[in-house]
Amino acid sequence: MLAVTVTVAAAVLAALALGVYLSWRATRLHRLHVRVDIARAALEEALRRRGAAVLDLVAARVRAADDPRGGDHGQVPAPVEELMAAATAALAAGGDGRRHGGPSDEAAGRQARRELAESRLSRALRAAVEPGNGPVGAVAGASSEEVRERLAAVAAAGRSVQLARTFYNDAVSDTRRARRSRPVRLFRLAGTAPLPDYFDIDDRAPRTPSSMVEPDTL
C-alpha cells in the first residue's frame, strides 16, 4: 500500500513539474511572439518614415528645379520622378504593423509585394542620389540647402530601417528557433499563432557626396 502511495505521489509530482515546465515554455514563447509584434510595428513605422522622407526630398528637388537660379531650367531629372513613384508605391504597399507571417498564400503574397516595393525604393534612391548617376546624381546635383537637409533626413531614416529590420529579424529568428524545439511541437504550445516570416529587402544606403550632408549624418 505504501509503495502504491509513493508511486502515486511521484506521478503527481512529475505531472506538476511537467505542467510548470510547459507553462514556462508557453509563457516564454508568448513573450517571443509579443517581441516579434513590437519589432514589426517599429519596422513598419521606420519604413513609413523613410517613404515619407523620400517624398519630402523629391518635393524639395522639384522646388530646386523650379528655382531660376539653378541650372535645371524647370526640368526635373527622370531619376527623381522614378524615385517619387517608388516611394509612393512603397507607402501604398505598407502593412498595418500586425502582419508578420502566416500560412496563407495571400499573406505570403502581400509580404513578397511589400519586400519588392521597399527594395525598389532603395534602388531608386541610389539611382537618384549616388555620384555617377547623372553628372553628380540627380538629387545630389541640386545646390539647394533644403535638398541637403532632406537628403540628411532620408539618410537618417534609412539607418532606422536597417536597425529596425535587424531587430525584427533577430526576434523572428529567436521565435522560430523556440518553435522548432521538441516540447513546443509535441505539446503544440504555439497554438494557432502564425509562424513569423523574415523581412528581407535591399536596404543598402546610397553613397552620398560628402558635400551634401554633414559628416555626422551618414
User: What pLDDT digit, counting tens, does each position of 114-159 carry?
Assistant: 999 999 999 999 999 887 655 445 665 566 788 889 999 999 999 9
> How wide is the angle at C-alpha 190 spanned by C-alphas 189 and 192, nearest 5°?
125
Pick the residue with more confidence: 153 or 214? 153
Q: What per-residue confidence (pLDDT) applies to 69?
A: 61
> How wide is the angle at C-alpha 169 spanned by C-alphas 168 and 172, nearest 5°?
90
Q: Is the pLDDT of residue 102 over 60?
A: no
Q: What per-residue confidence (pLDDT) applies to 91?
A: 97
User: Which of 65-74, 141-150, 191-200 is most confident?
Assistant: 191-200
Q: Is the pLDDT of residue 84 over 50?
A: yes
- 15, 73 Cβ separation under 8 angstroms: no
CA-wise closest residue to 165 among 194, 129, 193, 197: 197
Where are the domains positioned within the chain? 29-217
* DSSP state, residue 187: T
> How wide is the angle at C-alpha 61 spanned by C-alphas 56 and 66, nearest 5°?
125
**pLDDT average, residue stretch 15-24:** 89
What 3-state DSSP class applies to 192? coil
Q: Is the pLDDT of residue 96 over 60?
A: no
Element (H, E) at 153: helix 145-179
* DSSP state, residue 97: S
- Look at the block and give the residue holding cell 505504501: 2
Q: What per-residue confidence (pLDDT) applies to 218?
A: 35
**pLDDT average, residue stretch 65-69:** 69
Q: Is the pLDDT of residue 98 over 50?
A: no
Q: What per-residue confidence (pLDDT) applies to 107?
A: 81
End-to-end alpha carbon distance in the chain: 78
Q: What per-residue confidence (pLDDT) applies to 112?
A: 93
Q: What per-residue confidence (pLDDT) applies to 97?
A: 45
**Cα–Cα distance between 96 and 160 in angstroms, integer?**
18
**Cα–Cα distance between 28 and 7 in angstroms, integer?**
31
- 172, 36 Cβ separation under 8 angstroms: yes
Q: Determine the longest span between alpha carbons in the chain, in angstroms.
A: 102
Alpha helices in the chain (DSSP H): 2-66, 78-92, 105-129, 145-179, 182-186
Q: What per-residue confidence (pLDDT) applies to 6?
A: 77
